[in-house]
Amino acid sequence: MAQDTQQAHQDMLRAIEQSVRDSAHYTGREALSERVMEAMATVPREQFVPAAHRAQAYQNRPLPIAAGQTISQPLIVALMTDLLEPEPGDVILEVGTGSGYQAAVLSGLVQQVYSVEIVEELAQSAAATLDRLGYDNVSVRAGDGYAGWPEHAPFDGVIVTAAAPHIPQPLLDQLKPGGKLVIPVDAEHGAQDLLLVHVGEDGNIAQRSVLPVRFVPLTGER
């Protein structure tokens, strides 16, 4: 990694850490786990953005990708990953592959990632990028992610990268007891709430709002 890119990557990590501290009154988190921050430090974000935007790849903000979509603000990627509390043996479903960046971050933290992208162009591009970079425990397919990927269920966790009008029932049905779902859901006045949903060992479902996402367009990748 070139020295200027390495410095920009380090600056991004510091910006995430500061943003987490600034939002702790919402999230209850003063810091994210070391494993998640290590994953954020390892994945080359510039490889997941178009060439025209690579100079901005490590800014703590969303950037345009293909098909009119976006790659999410690094803070949101890191926070959503941390909320899942991923373990090395976990199998995770991602809804909304986008450029593949979120899947790449998860790749180093879990056993397997299954990712569904509704835009075929993005699914193909992300799969090619992930394969080229050696993320061999990520499987991508084009399709309606709100239906999940039942052939590989149940999942230890589900992460939805684009805002939904409600929590899709199939995603809850495909979670293991004790599993978590992290999803941005449309709220009033055009805002979005980042929700953490937990399926108890007894099957009971609990949810809480973690962060009002007013400043981040959680569309595309998301």
Q: Is the pLDDT of residue 174 over 60?
A: yes
Q: Is the pLDDT of residue 84 over 90?
A: yes
3-state secondary structure of 118: coil
Contacts 24+ apart (CB under 8 A), 183-192: 183/158, 183/159, 184/160, 184/213, 184/218, 187/212, 192/163, 192/218
Query: Which tens digits make up the pLDDT trace of 93-150?
Result: 999 999 999 999 999 999 999 999 999 999 999 999 999 999 999 999 999 999 999 9
Query: Which tens digits make up the pLDDT trace of 55-72?
Result: 999 999 999 999 999 999
Q: How many residues does the chain have?
A: 222
Q: Is the pLDDT of residue 3 over 80?
A: no
Residues 66 and 120: their CA atoms lie apart, in Å, by 11
21-25, 139-143, 214-218: range with lowest mean pLDDT: 214-218
Q: What's the pLDDT score for residue 168?
A: 96
Taking each helix axis as running N to C, give the angle between helix 34-42 and helix 3-22, from 0 to 180 degrees, rounded to the nearest 10. 150
Q: Is the pLDDT of residue 85 over 70?
A: yes
Q: What's the pLDDT score for residue 192?
A: 83
Residues 99 and 129: their CA atoms lie apart, in Å, by 8
Averaged pLDDT for residues 148-177: 95
pTM value is 0.92
Residue 72 a catalytic site member: yes
Of 72, 99, 107, 115, the active-site residue reads: 72
Judge whether 154 and 175 are in contact, CB under 8 Å. Answer: yes
Higher pLDDT residue, 135 or 215?
Answer: 135
